[in-house]
Amino acid sequence: MKILYDHQIFDFQQFGGVSRYFFELMAHFERDASVEWDLPLLYTDNEYLKKIPRFADSLLPRSKKGDPYKNFLGGTEFRGKRILYRVKNKVLPPPASINETAINKAKAIRKIQEGDFDLFHPTYYDDYFLEYIGEKPFVVTVYDMIHQIFPEYGLYEKLDKNKDLLDRASKIISISESTKTDLVNMFNIDEKKIAVTHLASSLEAEGEDVSASFKEKLPAKYLLYVGGRGAYKNFLFFAQVVAAVVEKEKDLAVVCTGAPFDERERYLFNKTGITGRMHHTYVTDAELRHLYRNAEALAFPSMYEGFGLPILEAFSCGCPVLVSNTSSLIEIGEEAATYFEPKNPGSMINAIRKVINDHEHRQQKIDLGYQQVKKFSWQKTAHETKRVYQQVLSDLHLRNQVSANI
């Protein structure tokens, strides 16, 4: 079975859930003799792909300010008036003339046109391949329906799923039952066409310790917030609730990872008097693990998620989870999480106080979290994805047999 992937997600994600998902699939299939796979790619800054041996010497970084090749083995050579860059025996044009995405896409198109594969699995939603793929089957993975459910936040993007793409796909992989339901309701997709394959946590439960300086800068008692803070993430509402909670919980703070606080957030913190309670930090995996292990709880107030990986990360580290009772979050957390209504301040306050002050409830949720996270693994994701591929190819074979006998 030959599977062809493409460049899309690796064009713009150095780190991220979607590129991690495809990396994990490819890493597992690398050890499966029954699966051959290919990823035509030249330019990327993705950190995960570096862990796959076949890419060790074949990938180039996307251009940065200055000379994008100066850190590569072989250095930079100037040859006459026309500057060329020779990197590991590759002669490349000057950076100003390079369109890395166009080059990556051209490589993908050539592979598609060659046709030496059984099934195509694009890594994002650009449907450029439809005019080249002919009768070859393809599978699309849908992660969430945020753009469709929250168009009022201006989330529509040119590069997004569309009805034609989904209708023409041989099979759709959904990362949760919740997203599957949304696909059926919003795109009128036949539910039999959709296969659910859950994701998994890539954060190791055990690992290296962190520096004393990192530990010292953390507040003694804190809620942890991990990831993006866009509008549907409900972070500003959560911050206002924190302002009410800390009136009684005098020593409670919030630690956030991800992007630094923006002007709106800082304005709200100042207005509600919690500026000194809100902390931001960039973290390594080891530091993130330390944050989970020492937090009062992970706070996940999002109004919608296609999956919710931080929930599994928290469970694996023995961190209680406070989460909205919406979308896929109940599906992932089940009985191991403590839930609240995302736009009900009283519900959120009660959930926070219960996890912080009810030690029996807290320990029960920690124990259940350790059990819940065992239900998810990348090995299981890869196995279920392979089964989808096999089903698509089996159905195609049967259709071809029927056509041949007519």
Residues above pLDDT 90, as percent of the chain: 78
Task: Please check whether the two domains, 2-56+99-200+378-405 and 212-375, share a CATH topology.
Answer: yes
Q: How far apart are CA 132 and CA 157, in angstroms?
A: 23
Antiparallel, parallel or unpaired: β 221-225 and 139-142: unpaired
Ramachandran bin of 271, using left for φ above 0, alpha for ψ from -120 to 50, beta for the remaining angles: alpha
| 2-56+99-200+378-405 CATH, one of 3.40.50.2000, 3.30.420.610, 3.90.550.10, 2.30.110.10 | 3.40.50.2000
Rg (CA), the chain: 24
Q: How far apart are CA 366 and CA 353, in angstroms?
A: 16
Burial 290-318 (b: 16+ CB within 10 A, else e): bbbebbbbbbbbbbbbbbbbbbbbbbbbb
Helix axes 17-29, 378-405, angle to 10 degrees: 70
Backbone angles phi, psi at 70, to 5 degrees: -65, -20
Per-position pLDDT tens, the chain of length 406? 999 999 999 998 998 889 999 999 999 999 999 999 999 999 999 999 999 999 988 899 988 643 333 333 333 332 233 333 334 444 455 455 679 999 999 999 999 999 999 999 999 999 999 999 999 999 999 999 998 898 887 665 667 889 999 999 999 999 999 999 999 999 999 999 999 999 999 998 788 899 999 999 999 999 999 989 988 999 999 999 999 999 999 999 999 998 999 999 999 999 999 999 999 999 999 999 999 999 999 999 999 999 999 999 999 999 999 999 999 999 999 999 999 999 999 999 999 999 999 999 999 999 999 999 999 999 999 999 999 999 999 998 888 787 777 6
The residue extents of the domains of the chain are: 2-56+99-200+378-405, 64-97, 212-375
What was the pLDDT predicted at 160?
87
Beta strand ranges found along 25-154 (DSSP E):
36-38, 85-87, 90-92, 119-121, 139-142
Second CATH level (architecture) for the domain 212-375? 3-Layer(aba) Sandwich (3.40)
Per the listing, tokens 């809100």 go with: 278
Per the listing, tokens 């992007």 go with: 259
What was the pLDDT predicted at 89?
44
Structure tokens at 370: 């350790």
Structure tokens at 20: 């991690």
Backbone angles phi, psi at 338, to 5 degrees: -105, 125
Q: How far apart are CA 89 and CA 73, in angstroms?
A: 10
Q: How far apart are CA 124 and CA 18, in angstroms?
A: 8
Per the listing, tokens 């530990």 go with: 215
Please say whether the beta carbons of 137 and 391 come within 8 A.
no
What was the pLDDT predicted at 159?
77
What was the pLDDT predicted at 126?
95
Using alpha carbons, list the distances in angstroms from residue 400 to 2, 95, 168, 310.
18, 48, 18, 44
